[in-house]
Chains A and B, each alone.
Chain A
Amino acid sequence: MTRYLDLYWLFLIQRLKTLMEYRASFILGAASTISLQAASIAAVWVVMQKVPSLNGWSYNEVLMVYGFVTLTKSINHMFADNLWTIGRVYIRTGGFDRFLVRPIDPLFHLLADRFCQDGVGNFVVGIALVIKTSIDLGIEWTLPKALMLIVATISGGVIFIALNLITAVSSFWVIDSVPVTRLVFDNHLFAQYPLTIYPRAISVLLTWVIPYGFASFYPASYLLGREIGNLAWLSPFIAAFLMFIGYRFWQFGLRYYSGTGS
């Protein structure tokens, strides 16, 4: 374990050295995604100036849910972006074979190969939104709530990564796994808003099938003192379970990997 941590650190340093060679594009990349978040938030702001309640949720409460999903998504973006590019960049080119002959876990190698700076902007926006709305709403940061912020951020991030891993394994068969991943990943958009605005089928889907609800709605509900928020303590178990499935499926997929002949 410590060996892998040390290794990750070395990979990260190398990656940052490369990124610092192109400092302007590093900053642009990290900052640009903020504009997409700003557009959505501005829209919600405009609407909620007119109607102060979204199904019983105030502007700040809605923003906290939005903040959580932005935060947890950024973890995936920073540390596991290669699950998007595995097909195009590694498998199609044959570069993936390199991972198989090295004395470390191929999945670890794939993820450590590229820290993605574009997620940094979303991380900052997400954490800022959660903190800002908690201040505006006068939420008292007790120990369990502070703990929840950390637990939910990590678990939510892992849920994102695990779901992307499960779908990325399809690249061993179809090469470009991006459309398969998008099919599942895009469901996180539902979790930008309180799940209570949707019909029951959608909130069940986002809780028990594609559980992005645990990356935003449930932890936010917990911080807001809503009863349903207690479910949020399940998030580390759900994250661990999905990751277990994802890793087993990855190993299964690896056995089918035959290269593309490039």
Chain B
Amino acid sequence: MIHSLNRRASMYGALFAMIPKMFMAYQLWFWAGLVMNIISITILYFFWDAIYANATIISGLTREQTLNYVLLAFFFMPLVSNDLLWEFGSNLREGLMIHHLLRPVNFQAMNYAQQLGGLVTRMAFQLPIMLLAMFLFDMQFPADLNTWVAFLLSALLGFTAMFFFSWLMACMAFYTTEIWGLGVLLEGITIFFSGSLVPLAMMPAWLRGIVLSVPFAQALAVPVGLLAGITPVSDAPRIWLIQLGWIISMWILSNLVFRVAVRKITVQGG
């Protein structure tokens, strides 16, 4: 009797404990994410601080400008990273692609809306660490309204160009069943070519040429350059036009490639 009562108590006790455990898991992720970001920006700060120990201006940039740029680039990383490749990969693996294509909405437009929603969400999650950086490392946002307008439009255009380019890359999922390696490879390329680690001005001319011949920087280095005050606002119209050119060319190319790739569809069960 007592024995069975004990057993029951421990069983229901375990069930009771499940919910706090699950709740704690989400909490833990939040705090871990915050600490991870603090570590990253601390390293960024002291790395650049040491670099500027013996120089006042590097490639025309002061210590404050560079620090502001790399910190802002860190926060606006969501502009350049979307998960289209993983999305395509999992859709194909689970055999859902065909359902999406049969729906009476434009498949690409649907994905764009979703990725835009994802961008807003991820930016919202960057807010706490953004405040910390302003407090700890004196990161500054411009007070000038024109700069903000120039930045926001350029960020939206760059994000859109990057979306179509990622669409192009995601089409590779039709040809391979293994996208993990591809995804990580693309991540490394994105981190460097978006200009998230080093201001473009510091790169040798030949390297900057390569970086600007692919669209990654359009979504990060270009808009953040405006926000950090490295690029003058008077350049904004020219920048918008270039970004528009990227959008149109990537839009055409991504649709052409998708049309060819979709015929290669291999359904791995599901």
Interface string of A182-206 (1 = CB under 8 A from B): 1100110110110001110010000
Q: Which residue of B lies closest to A177 (CB)?
A: B28
Contact A183 B184 (CB under 8 A): no
Q: Given A36-B188, A39-B197, decide whether A187 and B180 contact each other with a Cβ distance below 8 A.
A: no
Contact B185 A35 (CB under 8 A): yes
Q: Which residue of B lies closest to A53 (CB)?
A: B54
What chain B residues lie within 8 Å of A192 (beta carbons)?
43
What chain B residues lie within 8 Å of A190 (beta carbons)?
39, 42-43
A50 at the interface (CB under 8 A from B): yes
Contact A22 B178 (CB under 8 A): yes
CA distance A53 to B55 in the complex (A): 10
Contact B203 A36 (CB under 8 A): no
Measured CB to CB, the closest approach of chain A to B217, in angstroms, equals 14
B32 at the interface (CB under 8 A from A): yes
Q: Out of A51, A189, A198, which one reaches B51, CB within 8 Å?
A: A51
What chain B residues lie within 8 Å of A186 (beta carbons)?
35-36, 39-40
B181 at the interface (CB under 8 A from A): yes
What chain B residues lie within 8 Å of A34 (beta carbons)?
188
Measured CB to CB, the closest approach of chain B to A79, in angstroms, equals 20
Q: Given A32-B181, A176-B25, decide whether A182 and B192 contact each other with a Cβ distance below 8 A.
A: no
What chain A residues lie within 8 Å of B47 (beta carbons)?
54, 193, 197
B138 at the interface (CB under 8 A from A): no
The count of residues in chain B whose C-beta lies closer than 8 Å to any C-beta of chain A is 47
Contact B35 A47 (CB under 8 A): no
What chain A residues lie within 8 Å of B58 (beta carbons)?
50-51
Contact B178 A179 (CB under 8 A): no
Measured CB to CB, the closest approach of chain A to B261, in angstroms, equals 19
Contact A258 B14 (CB under 8 A): yes
B189 at the interface (CB under 8 A from A): yes
Contact B197 A43 (CB under 8 A): yes
Contact A182 B36 (CB under 8 A): yes
Q: Which residue of A lies closest to B49 (CB)?
A: A197
Measured CB to CB, the closest approach of chain A to B152, in angstroms, equals 27
Q: Given A32-B184, A36-B188, A46-B203, decide whether A55 and B50 contact each other with a Cβ distance below 8 A.
A: yes
Would you list the 10 A-B pairs with minimal beta carbon distance, nearest first?
A: A28-B181, A35-B188, A179-B32, A43-B197, A32-B184, A39-B192, A25-B178, A197-B50, A32-B181, A179-B28
